[in-house]
A and B are shown apart, each in its own frame.
Chain A
């Protein structure tokens, strides 16, 4: 600050001069929406990446023989994989919605100003997506438990 600022800044009240202990959370970024959206984006991204590697390999088995491919795909029709599929869709849902939020923060002129509100909207849309998909997937898992692997 220039020394000759002509006293435009009033001296801060005495109460505000108290030095607060450093905090890890509750600052502008740390422990707030900005940080947690980033953490979730990384975790879901890594999970989706490793599924993608496996998914390209399992699909490639269509090139070996129909029976080999059907055998591998049948393992996807087990109840435990139905649960995995549910969490995959949940992870993709968050990564997609928060990814669109990141794009709006970067390219929309007032995006950064509304990042916190957009995070709330992302979470709400995510809940709607999960609520829409869960009954469908529970139905699938129940049918799989009952042994309906091939309709």
Chain B
């Protein structure tokens, strides 16, 4: 066995490439997004579940009315991205804790990643391609601001 021992007093050379500490950034993301989510989710719950007639008031026209305002478009986009990534990262942590079989672990992590990407794309497209007055609407389902309601 040949091991080259550096001369005494050779200064410590740090590894050339410093890798990104993803676990650290994930840890920080949970805390930063968590603070935002407290505001975003309780605001969302108050407006949709508590205020007025609560969940009984929600229908297509209710959603169209909210998304006619850019404020709620930004709110719901932030909610979608921050909450789903927060949840997926939490599920990743739990998977790493309990899934001891490496194959099973990789499979679950892949499923979490795939479902997260699909739902982020789907949700974002739904918000930004939303049509409040679609042609296929049955009478009486459209918001009051549509030409044909």
A58 CB to closest chain B CB (Å) equals 11
Q: How large is the interface on B (under 10, 10 to 19, 20 to 34, 35 or more residues)?
A: 35 or more
Is A125 part of the contact surface with B, judged by Cβ < 8 Å?
no
Contacts of B50 in A (CB 8 A): 133, 136
Contacts of B45 in A (CB 8 A): 89, 92
Alpha-carbon distance A136/B123, docked complex (angstroms)? 30
Which secondary structure dominates where chain B touches chain A?
A: helix
| A103 contacts B31, C-beta separation under 8 Å | yes
B73 CB to closest chain A CB (Å) equals 13
Which secondary structure dominates where chain A touches chain B?
A: helix
- A residues touching B (Cβ–Cβ < 8 Å)? 42, 45-46, 48-49, 52-53, 56-57, 59-60, 62-63, 65-67, 69-70, 73, 76-77, 82, 85, 89, 92, 96, 99-100, 102-103, 106-107, 133, 136, 140, 143-144, 148-151
- B residues touching A (Cβ–Cβ < 8 Å)? 31, 34-35, 37-38, 41-42, 45, 49-50, 53-61, 63-64, 80, 83-84, 87-88, 90-91, 94, 115, 119, 122-123, 125-126, 129-131, 134, 136-138, 141-142
